[in-house]
Amino acid sequence: MTEVSTGRVAPAVLPKPNEPCWCGSGTKYKKCHRGADTVEARKRGPEVRRGIRPGVISPVRSVPANIPRPDYATSGRPARSPVLPEVKSPDVIDRMRRACKAAAEVLQATAAHIRPGITTEELDAIAHEEYIRRGGYPSPLNYHGFPKSICTSVNEVICHGIPDSRALEDGDIVNLDITIFLDGVHGDTSATYLVGTVEPDSERLVRVTRECLDLGIAAVKPGRPISDIGKAIEAHATQNGMGVVRAYCGHGIGERFHSSLQIPHHYDPEAKTIMQPGMTFTIEPMITLGHWHSRVWDDGWTAVTADGSRTAQFEHTLLVTDEGAEILTVA
């Protein structure tokens, strides 16, 4: 599940053209979100947009009482507690290896059922049972009120798609975002899959997005700034004529689902945090066939491309090592 950068939702009073954009990109508003914030775009709700339509969302699934839960499982609100170190102890790292392996297994087991005709609700049910089989809690479930155990993002949905009654269709692409709470820590991973026979542009989008993740991981080096990651990702996406979503980013992870550490997927010179051995965070680039501007459905969760173009995402949880990065989310 992605972290949300500052300024995800447009404010009621928009900036003037030459003022900094509300999304936090550092770019002037007229060169950033102004086009997506026209009166026509803001009036265009889910009921009239092109592409994916929301389906029926089933009731929240239950989790057995014996499964340990994160602090937000009942209230929906993560507890405010002292800031935890981004450099993890050996004990936390060992537990994260187990949780991340479990997350990768749940992803594989759920993705095996992807086919035209299956609903994202059915995929959520499969994943939910896979979490429980491993003794883990579905981290997205009731996180700030999210109603499901996974995120399923189809075609133009960037992230945080809510599983529902819509059946996948031949030619769709779908991202499954899996996070498990196990042994007191979270493991987070996602991947985008082809549904049936997919047009060449979508196949290329998925391939380039996976390459962007690989290049972002290769940029992880102790002693280097976090900005190196987004620089590598953005360069490859731009070379292929694709956009990099800026409103959502990777994040620190461990005992908390999201820590204050943010990992931009575009080059952000302000991302000056120096990578250190023992840090754990996600890299999860969201790449588009069109522009990187985004908007959110009325459900408050489903983020889509403002221009309706397709988008893909891949994600791993990583450990910074003395040499580079260890991918934790492997089965």
pLDDT digit string (tens) for 83-99? Answer: 889 999 999 999 999 99
Tokens of 307: 């221009």
| Domain spans in the chain, listed from the N-terminal domain onward | 88-327
**Residue 2, number of CB atoms within 10 A of its CB:** 26
Contact 164, 148 (CB under 8 A): no
Whether residue 273 has pLDDT greater than 70: yes
DSSP string, 127-176: HHHHHHHTT-EETTTTGGG--SSSEEEETTEEE-PPP-SPBP-TT-EEEE
Least confident of 31-45, 216-230, 259-273, 274-288: 31-45
Q: Is 45 exposed, middle or buried (0-12, 13-18, 19+ CB in 10 A)?
A: exposed
Contact 311, 305 (CB under 8 A): yes
Per the prediction, the chain carries an average pLDDT of: 91
Higher pLDDT, 22 or 148: 148
Separation CA 307–CA 38 (nearest Å): 12
> Cα-flanking dihedrals φ and ψ of residue 128, to 5°?
-55, -45
Separation CA 211–CA 230 (nearest Å): 13
Residue range 14-53, pLDDT digits in tens = 676 777 766 655 666 655 655 555 433 443 333 333 588 8
| 313 Cα distance to chain centroid | 7
Say yes or no: domain 88-327 is CATH 3.40.50.1100: no
Residue range 63-78, pLDDT digits in tens = 999 999 999 999 999 9
**pLDDT attached to residue 46:** 37
**pLDDT attached to residue 34:** 59
Separation CA 286–CA 209 (nearest Å): 7
pTM above the 0.85 mark? yes
Q: Which amino acid appears at position 120 of this protein?
A: T
**pLDDT attached to residue 11:** 53
**pLDDT attached to residue 84:** 87
Whether residue 276 has pLDDT greater than 70: yes
**pLDDT attached to residue 32:** 64
